[in-house]
Amino acid sequence: MLKAEIKFVLMSSKIFTRFTGNFQKTEPLIHIIYNEIKTLLLTLLSRICKPLSLTSQTPFKIDCFQNNLLSLIKHCQSHIIASCKYIIEKAPLNGNRSIIKNFRFLKPSEKLSTRNLPFQNDLDLDRLIDEWILFQLQCEPNSDQNSLRIDVYWNLIITQKSENSNLKYPLLNKVVRAALSIFHGNADVDRGFSCSANYLTDDRASMSEKTLNAALVVKDAIKMYDNRAALVPITPKLISLAHNQESILSIEKDLSKKRKLENSKSNLAKKLLLEANQRLKKGVEAKKFSEIELGHAMLAGVSKIENERDQERKEEKNCIKS
């Protein structure tokens, strides 16, 4: 019995591994997540239901409190039913969370079958629908374009310009960019942690957060050139940035020193203010004018420090702007 249960667990894990593996890619996949979740549910239900009883809508009509659940006493059936319930509860398939169903319009194969874009937003929906119809009337993309990554495919579409050099689909451009920016899982986040861990080796333990972020930005930028640094174009702007790097670092060091000095002055001002208030309170209670005068002198010192800090902040802002 134990051996059979172990085999069932291994078999069941393959179903979920196949699903999660599809979403480990770096490209946007929001346009296929709805169909993939539906396929996963149908795959699970096919293990315990008759094929004729399954339809494309079956997964979304499961009642989590069915009395028939009591008759399913086998561990494998209970596991599959619980898995389906969990997916239906957590996945954004129904109700207010069913917006991912509308993202199927991003698929090139859905171009002609999508009648309109059912989004409620502040855009001019009439103009948006007109742009979508014009896009549908445009010549069908060739097979090479259909095989491109979804973000590359849409970049070719939304960057098209009309004869007057304006964007051909300005509103569609906004909708597509917003849709593709929605993440489809935690793969990118996990991958970011892995990349950070690869950089922060034992001999780089003291690396600053700024240096780490700079290294990760360079790594992501080189991906645009097939991870080949030799293909990165050397533009005049890039050369200018390289020449100015030394002066930028010098300015940053100066600003860092000023911030440390400002923090020390701030701490000193707090101490002086606290002591001045205490002396004033004691002087008033004991009617000692010397303590009161000393307290006022200390408050004047605090005011002077605050004025110096304000002046330094203004100079720092002017330095950053320049």
User: Could you say which DSSP state residue 139 is in?
Assistant: P
193 and 177: one domain? Answer: no
CB 232 within 8 A of CB 220: no
223 and 254: one domain? Answer: no
The 10 Å Cβ neighbour count of residue 101 is 16
Cα separation of 148 and 141, whole Å? 11
pLDDT of residue 295: 75
Q: Count of residues for the chain?
A: 322
pLDDT of residue 71: 47
CB 233 within 8 A of CB 224: no
Structural domains of the chain, count: 4
28 and 92: one domain? Answer: yes
Cα separation of 142 and 42, whole Å? 32
User: Consecutive 10-residue runs of the chain (322 residues): their mean pLDDT?
Assistant: 64 75 72 77 72 57 47 61 77 64 77 65 72 76 67 85 82 84 71 77 76 83 82 85 77 78 78 79 76 76 76 67 56
Which of 96, 124, 142 terminates a domain? The answer is 96
Domain of residue 199: give its range. Answer: 186-233
Q: What is the pLDDT of residues 101-149, one digit of tens each?
A: 777 778 777 777 766 665 665 667 777 777 877 887 776 655 566 677 8
- Decide: residue 77, CB within 10 A, 0-12 exposed, 13-18 middle, 19+ buried: middle
Q: What is the pLDDT of residues 228-237, one digit of tens each?
A: 888 888 888 8
Phi, psi dihedral angles at 303 (to 5 degrees): -60, -40
Cα separation of 74 and 7, whole Å? 15
- Which residue do the tokens 């972020």 mark? 213
128 and 205: one domain? Answer: no
pLDDT of residue 69: 42
Describe the chain by its helix, strand, coil percentages, rounded to 5.
70, 0, 25
